[in-house]
Amino acid sequence: MAKIIPFKAVRPSRDKVGLVATRPFQDYSVEEVTFQLEHNPFSFLHIINPGYKFQKEITGSERFQLVKNRYLEFKEEGVFIQDESPAYYIYKTISRNQTYCGIIAATCADDYENDVIRKHEDTISHREQLFKDYLKTVGFNTEPVLLTYPDSEVINRITSEVMAERAEYEFTSLNRDTHYLWVVNDPERTSKIKAEFEKMEAVYIADGHHRSASSWLLAKESREKNPNHTGEEPYNYFLSYMIAESNLQLYEFNRLITDLNGLSKKEFLMQLDEWFRIENRGTELYKPSKKHHFSMYLDGEFYSLYLRKTNYEFTGPLSELDPYILFIRILKPLLGIEDLKNDRRISYLPGRNESFEVKKAVDEGLYAVGFGMLPLTVDEIKKIADQGLTMPPKSTCIEPKLRSGLTVYEF
């Protein structure tokens, strides 16, 4: 039973929301951040870059405290205002290629620990601890964990009814995406949405494994220090964006390798031949069309690699994943890539950038070889999560990517 509840969001005033909300910080170049900080006093980037006010690079616990200070200033100035009653927030984005719609809510941290919220990636302990300390200091969260759930007729019907009404927010960002947000705070609708989520045996993390783990650590630490703990305190929940499985967009990550691990081109192809049927596709852009088929760009030419299934044994859902097959049959044994997270010889390009980006990177001499594959499916991710397994790093690139500063959850 998933416990996903309405909450009193702190959010921008209607007239400033387009100026406040930002893309994820890592999506900005240094020049873009600088421009926003210099020319937009309402940008959420001022909160997460508090050192700009003092023209100083600030890190660690000192930065955490200043982030809190900048956030409080936005509230004091009326840029951020807290809702008076708990609500779900229907958030819709329309881009040139895709429309996403989901519900921003508060999700129970216990569900993460009890495997109601299911994971498919490993987390790194020191990153969990760092973000937990950050949350504890600043006292708010504005980066929702992206959770996906089985499609629900009830939720779809309520969402459609609400979206027929006037949106609380409607604005267009500089990348030409249009954003809408509706506030759902009437008791009848909120109780129906809450009850529908409670019927679900499990929901799945699409993006935000470290944020989920850190929120659980914060909840655990807070309850241990609170002799009057009830389980309903705000620290028992974290900010999430609930999106139906059918509306989730998955891309693959292409792999780029700097060298052939001491092998000549001919030696490399000969060793590949043991596990793959290889076809030279020439110079035209090529992308695989089936599972267990891979594209490879090497020395100015594309190749298709077809897994020789007579040689390969499928032993479970992990062994069937294309990123795992690529790792266990090429990257590790032939190219010497043992650590997919930390080896500097490997880089990743999201599949939405298409094959020409792989070609360009290799042609420019930055890499020796590039590999592509089809995206994973939601069902593949669920099978991994249901069995408590973890996928290789960078197995999926999942959208939507949410804006920061649109809704804030306070502890």
| Residues 273-324: tens digit of each pLDDT | 999 999 999 998 999 999 999 999 999 999 999 999 888 999 999 999 999 9
Instruction: Report the alpha-carbon distance of residue 183 to residue 202 in Å, rounded.
Output: 25
List the Cα angle 93/94/96 in 5-degree steps.
145
Q: Are 397 and 253 in contact (CB under 8 A)?
A: yes
24 vs 264, higher pLDDT: 264
| Residues 40-94: tens digit of each pLDDT | 999 999 999 888 877 777 778 889 999 999 999 999 999 999 999 999 999 999 9
pTM: predicted TM-score of the whole model, two decimal places? 0.92
| Residues 41-56: tens digit of each pLDDT | 999 999 998 888 777 7
Q: What is the pLDDT of residue 86?
A: 98
Phi, psi of 284 (to 5 degrees): -75, 140
Q: What is the pLDDT of residue 61?
A: 84
Percent over 90 (pLDDT), the chain: 85
Alpha carbon dihedral 115, 210, 244, 97, in 10-degree steps, equals -160
| Residues 343-376: tens digit of each pLDDT | 999 999 988 767 789 999 999 999 999 999 999 9
Q: Which whole-number Å values give the CA distances from 89 to 7, 9, 140, 193, 320, in the listed order?
A: 9, 9, 17, 11, 37
Is the pLDDT confidence value at 225 over 70?
A: yes
Is the pLDDT confidence value at 231 over 80?
A: yes
| Residues 103-140: tens digit of each pLDDT | 999 999 999 999 999 999 988 899 999 999 999 999 99
Q: What is the mean pLDDT of residues 32-42?
A: 93
Q: What is the pLDDT of residue 54?
A: 76
Q: What is the pLDDT of residue 174?
A: 85
Residues of the chain with CATH 3.30.1760: 253-374
| Residues 239-269: tens digit of each pLDDT | 999 999 999 999 999 999 999 999 999 999 9
Q: What is the pLDDT of residue 353?
A: 63
Q: What is the pLDDT of residue 23?
A: 87
Six-digit token pair at 391? 């996928």
Q: Kindly report the average pLDDT of the chain as a whole number.
A: 94
Q: What is the CATH number of domain 253-374?
A: 3.30.1760
Q: Is 202 helix (H, G, I), strand (E, B) or coil?
A: coil
